[in-house]
Chain A
Amino acid sequence: MTKVFTLALFVLGMALASPALADDLPGGKCLECHVTIDDDLGELWQDDVHARTGIGCDACHGGDATQDDSDLAKRPGTDYQGELSPLEITRSCGGCHGDVEYMKARKPLLPVDQLDKYQTSEHGKLLAKGETRVAQCASCHGAHGVREVNDAKSPVYASNVPATCGGCHGDADYMSDFDIKTDQYDEYVQSVHGKALLEKNDVRGAPACNDCHGNHGAAPPSIDAITNICGTCHSYNAELFLGSPLAPAFEEKSLADCVACHGKHLIRHVSDEWEGDKPGATCRKCHEEGEEGSELALYFTDTFGSVRQSFEEIEQLLGEAEVKGMDVTEGEDYVEAARQGLMQARTLMHSFSKPVMEEKVTEIAANQAAALEVGYAALQALEDRRRGLAISTLLLLLLTIGVAIKIRTLPPLD
């Protein structure tokens, strides 16, 4: 009985809701009819960016939206196209989005080269060859619920992009005919970029798939392009590397600049163990023990190791002084400056130049020395304070004894 009642309510609700939807949203008679067939359509269309600007069903699907009768609505001469094929989708979307005059009047800041770029992408090239399983506009943006790119619910919103791309590229069965790996998404989520974007929600700073591969023109970057791609964000690192003796050597050996050391999708934080000349270290991929490059790697390792050891010593010293109640904030400022210096030194490493590194290390060492001085001065001051306290306590004690003696010498009470 309850089920019947619920069903009756649902039918009544739909009956009341459908005309209301049709009244508010563009789509005319098409929408009135299709919301009763497709449960999701009404909800999707409500949030669709095109629907909000008054673009109706006929803009993509053709047909006559003023007709109650479906046969009349789809009759010849109405340009009715029904469900669009992947290739038709790209043409339909590109028809408006590639039209400079049309877009200038509606969304002048939106680029109009999406279709051109798409045609240069691996997706676009394969589609042109007749492969319909590749991504086209609707695969990423959706069809009837297209949202603005900066809408957090959009599948192409920065933090949703990895899952959207990974939806196909992480599916081994789906990708089996394309002869490409499917571990990109799994690797990306463990990378520094993935963690920054997906865990810290750094949608402005951390790159998603499209930031390196391009969005509409998505393709694997060429070796020559790697430094430029990484250098978009890590510009100083790229500049240093391109000016270093390693750049021509990499070119000669056809090594992908940044990727050769840092990897692609699984880029992790750099640790001191990275450098050095021990087997397994990154530098050992190319440099044998005892070579000039290996010597430099060893210098980097020793330098960073020594700087790190000094930090431990400083932290211990400042911590001891702080626990004993001393103010060491000035020392902490020096530590912070030294840490900033270390971060800069890691960047300067990309110059692969010993003199450049030595200059920065001298600066770090100066800040560390100043921090140590603050720590030792604090402990010395503590000693001075305690000595001062001991002297003043002695004086107060003498005074107290003097007063006590005086009390004893006073005339006795009655």
Chain B
Amino acid sequence: MSTSPENPDRALLAWAKDRYPIGKFVEWAEHKTVPIGPGAFWYYFGGISLFLFLIQVGTGILLMFYYKGSADTAFESVRFISAKVPFGWLVRSVHAWSANLMIFSVFIHMFSVFFMRAYRKPRELTWLSGIVLLALLLGFGFSGYLLPWNELAFFATKVGTDIIGVIPVIGKPIMYVLRGGEEVTGSTLPRFFALHVALFPALLTTFIVGHLFFIQMQGIHEPDAWKAQPEQRKTMPFFPHFFMRELLLWLITLNIVAVLAVFFPAELGIEADPFSPAPAGIKPEWYFLSTFEFLKYMPAHVGPLEGEELGLLLISFGFLLWCLVPWIDRGQSRRMTTIVMGTGVAILIFLTILTGIGYAT
């Protein structure tokens, strides 16, 4: 094959190679490998989360072409998107379903990393940046839920921001800033919109780059058993073996999103009216349901604290411990590892049960 102008593909490559270190990248890609341990399947969920994020970016941009982020126009613009814009219903439904699946996928990714103990040295910052990413995604979900400005979203936001207001000292000011006043009103919507389309995407992109950079620098975690028995070590090339498998899962994920969007399209609901009473059975999205249920079952008062205050204190303490897991379990004490893994299982069961109760009641 010649790299002459007669062969345009090669010519373009030659042009690029002449200016950029393409060769180094190709060499890196050819040598990049992925370990094939007992839990190798779970590695794919990081990539699935990334794929769903890309769907979010694409559909989010399309929605912004028509969405109008003010209390007077938001509901009507969403209605217009769903009813009049060609494939608007599809874009909106894919955005909504992809968001939910992304959070679900990130949860799976986080717990798989946890149970494979991949958070240990030297990957502490990868773990921490992952937790920040999860927190940002929950923020994305919370802010995006209000944007259609329907009754359910309005009151769920009210309940959600009420919970934030319970946090001692800083809760009230944060709640005030988020709401744009004492109550959830038309002033709240532009703030949530700004967070959803400006601040959170910028932060999320930054942290994703950081997260991927750490993974790239340190490679994917390998099973602990391989340290003692290096002969068991088995890997596969990232390109094309792992990439093709990942692509396969992306295609399946895309189809799942499409089926969900067609058979269970995002609902429009009833337009929010700040002066109407809250309808019965207001619940947050599924990923906040366990927290919501936990706070609901707290007693009214515990000593000098209100039940909700204590609940939030416990959740905050638990979250802090979760962040510090790489330093709590350094792999030096089998007993500590057992305790941490047992706690992880207990947390998983606890979250599942509370979410189930939240749905059932």
Query: Which residues of A approach B to under 8 Å, CB–CB?
Result: 325-327, 329-330, 385-386, 388-389, 392-393, 396-397, 399-400, 403-404, 406-407, 410, 413-414
Question: Does any Cβ of A come within 8 Å of B263's Cβ?
Answer: yes
Beyond A325-B267, A397-B255: 20 further Cβ-contacts under 8 Å?
Answer: A325-B263, A325-B265, A326-B265, A327-B265, A327-B268, A385-B90, A385-B262, A389-B258, A389-B259, A392-B255, A392-B258, A393-B259, A400-B248, A404-B248, A407-B241, A407-B248, A413-B36, A413-B234, A413-B241, A414-B235
Q: How distant is the Cα of A326 from the Cα of B236 in the complex, in angstroms?
A: 46
Is there contact, CB below 8 Å, between A406 and B258? no
What bracket does the count of chain B residues touching chain A fall in?
20 to 34
Is there contact, CB below 8 Å, between B251 and A329? no
B335 to chain A, nearest CB (A): 37
Question: Does any Cβ of A come within 8 Å of B120's Cβ?
Answer: no
Is there contact, CB below 8 Å, between B244 and A410? yes
- Contacting residues, chain A, for B240 (C-beta < 8 A): 406, 410
Is there contact, CB below 8 Å, between B263 and A413? no
Question: Does any Cβ of A come within 8 Å of B29's Cβ?
Answer: no
Is there contact, CB below 8 Å, between A403 and B258? no
Q: How distant is the Cα of A397 from the Cα of B256 in the complex, in angstroms?
A: 12
- Contacting residues, chain A, for B82 (C-beta < 8 A): 327
Is there contact, CB below 8 Å, between A399 and B251? yes
15 A–B contact pairs at CB < 8 A?
Answer: A325-B264, A329-B79, A330-B83, A386-B262, A388-B262, A389-B258, A389-B262, A392-B255, A396-B254, A396-B258, A400-B248, A406-B244, A413-B36, A413-B241, A414-B234
Question: Does any Cβ of A come within 8 Å of B252's Cβ?
Answer: yes
Is there contact, CB below 8 Å, between B251 and A403? yes
Is there contact, CB below 8 Å, between B268 and A329? yes
Q: How distant is the Cα of A91 from the Cα of B102 in the complex, in angstroms?
A: 84
B238 to chain A, nearest CB (A): 12
Q: How distant is the Cα of A399 from the Cα of B234 in the complex, in angstroms?
A: 29
Question: Can you list, as one digit per residue, whether each of B268-292 has a CB less than 8 Å from chain A (1) or not (0)?
Answer: 1000000000000000000000000
- Contacting residues, chain A, for B263 (C-beta < 8 A): 325
Q: Which residue of A lies closest to B254 (CB)?
A: A396
Q: How distant is the Cα of A414 from the Cα of B236 in the complex, in angstroms?
A: 8
B243 to chain A, nearest CB (A): 10
Q: How distant is the Cα of A144 from the Cα of B244 in the complex, in angstroms?
A: 93
Is there contact, CB below 8 Å, between B248 and A327? no
- Contacting residues, chain B, for A325 (C-beta < 8 A): 263-265, 267
Q: Is the interface of B mostly helix, strand, loop or mixed?
A: helix
- Contacting residues, chain B, for A329 (C-beta < 8 A): 79, 83, 268
- Contacting residues, chain A, for B296 (C-beta < 8 A): none
Is there contact, CB below 8 Å, between A393 and B255? yes
- Contacting residues, chain A, for B258 (C-beta < 8 A): 389, 392-393, 396
Q: Which residue of A lies closest to B259 (CB)?
A: A389
- Contacting residues, chain B, for A397 (C-beta < 8 A): 255
Question: Does any Cβ of A come within 8 Å of B245's Cβ?
Answer: yes
- Contacting residues, chain B, for A392 (C-beta < 8 A): 255, 258
Contacting A at CB under 8 A, from B89-114, are 89-90
Tell me which of B36, B235, B251, B254 has the highest count of chain A C-beta atoms within 10 A of its own C-beta: B251
Given A396-B254, A414-B234, residue A327 in contact with residue B83 (CB < 8 A): yes
- Contacting residues, chain B, for A410 (C-beta < 8 A): 240-241, 244
Contact among B234, B248, B267, B268 with A403 in the assembled complex (CB-CB below 8 Å): B248
Is there contact, CB below 8 Å, between A396 and B251? yes
A406 to chain B, nearest CB (A): 6
Q: How distant is the Cα of A239 from the Cα of B134 in the complex, in angstroms?
A: 68
B80 to chain A, nearest CB (A): 10
Is there contact, CB below 8 Å, between B244 and A403? yes
Q: How distant is the Cα of A145 from the Cα of B210 in the complex, in angstroms?
A: 78
Q: How distant is the Cα of A413 from the Cα of B262 in the complex, in angstroms?
A: 39
Q: How distant is the Cα of A410 from the Cα of B245 in the complex, in angstroms?
A: 11
Question: Does any Cβ of A come within 8 Å of B313's Cβ?
Answer: no
- Contacting residues, chain A, for B244 (C-beta < 8 A): 403, 406-407, 410
B273 to chain A, nearest CB (A): 16
- Contacting residues, chain B, for A385 (C-beta < 8 A): 90, 262
- Contacting residues, chain B, for A414 (C-beta < 8 A): 234-235
Q: How distant is the Cα of A397 from the Cα of B267 in the complex, in angstroms?
A: 28
3 closest Cβ contacts across the A-B interface? A325-B265, A389-B262, A400-B251
Question: Does any Cβ of A come within 8 Å of B247's Cβ?
Answer: yes
Q: Which residue of A lies closest to B262 (CB)?
A: A389
A64 to chain B, nearest CB (A): 57
B40 to chain A, nearest CB (A): 11
Tell me which of B83, B240, B241, B268 has the highest count of chain A C-beta atoms within 10 A of its own C-beta: B83
- Contacting residues, chain A, for B79 (C-beta < 8 A): 327, 329
A61 to chain B, nearest CB (A): 50
Q: How distant is the Cα of A396 from the Cα of B263 in the complex, in angstroms?
A: 17
Q: How distant is the Cα of A326 from the Cα of B267 in the complex, in angstroms?
A: 9
Q: How distant is the Cα of A397 from the Cα of B254 in the complex, in angstroms?
A: 11
Q: How distant is the Cα of A213 from the Cα of B140 in the complex, in angstroms?
A: 63
- Contacting residues, chain A, for B241 (C-beta < 8 A): 407, 410, 413
Q: How distant is the Cα of A404 from the Cα of B244 in the complex, in angstroms?
A: 8
Q: How distant is the Cα of A410 from the Cα of B240 in the complex, in angstroms?
A: 8
Contact among B90, B245, B251 with A407 in the assembled complex (CB-CB below 8 Å): B245
- Contacting residues, chain B, for A404 (C-beta < 8 A): 248
Is there contact, CB below 8 Å, between B259 and A400? no
Q: How distant is the Cα of A67 from the Cα of B73 in the complex, in angstroms?
A: 73
Is there contact, CB below 8 Å, between A400 and B234? no
Q: How distant is the Cα of A388 from the Cα of B94 in the complex, in angstroms?
A: 15
Q: How distant is the Cα of A296 from the Cα of B212 in the complex, in angstroms?
A: 80
Q: Which residue of B lies closest to A326 (CB)?
A: B265
Q: How distant is the Cα of A326 from the Cα of B263 in the complex, in angstroms?
A: 10
A125 to chain B, nearest CB (A): 50
- Contacting residues, chain A, for B265 (C-beta < 8 A): 325-327
Given A393-B255, A403-B244, A413-B234, residue A327 in contact with residue B89 (CB < 8 A): yes
Tell me which of B89, B259, B262 has the highest count of chain A C-beta atoms within 10 A of its own C-beta: B262
Tell me which of A392, A396, A400 has the highest count of chain B C-beta atoms within 10 A of its own C-beta: A400
Q: How distant is the Cα of A392 from the Cα of B258 in the complex, in angstroms?
A: 9
Q: Which residue of A lies closest to B241 (CB)?
A: A410
- Contacting residues, chain A, for B89 (C-beta < 8 A): 327
Q: Which residue of B lies closest to A399 (CB)?
A: B251
A146 to chain B, nearest CB (A): 36
Is there contact, CB below 8 Å, between A396 and B255? yes
Tell me which of A396, A403, A407 has the highest count of chain B C-beta atoms within 10 A of its own C-beta: A403
B63 to chain A, nearest CB (A): 15
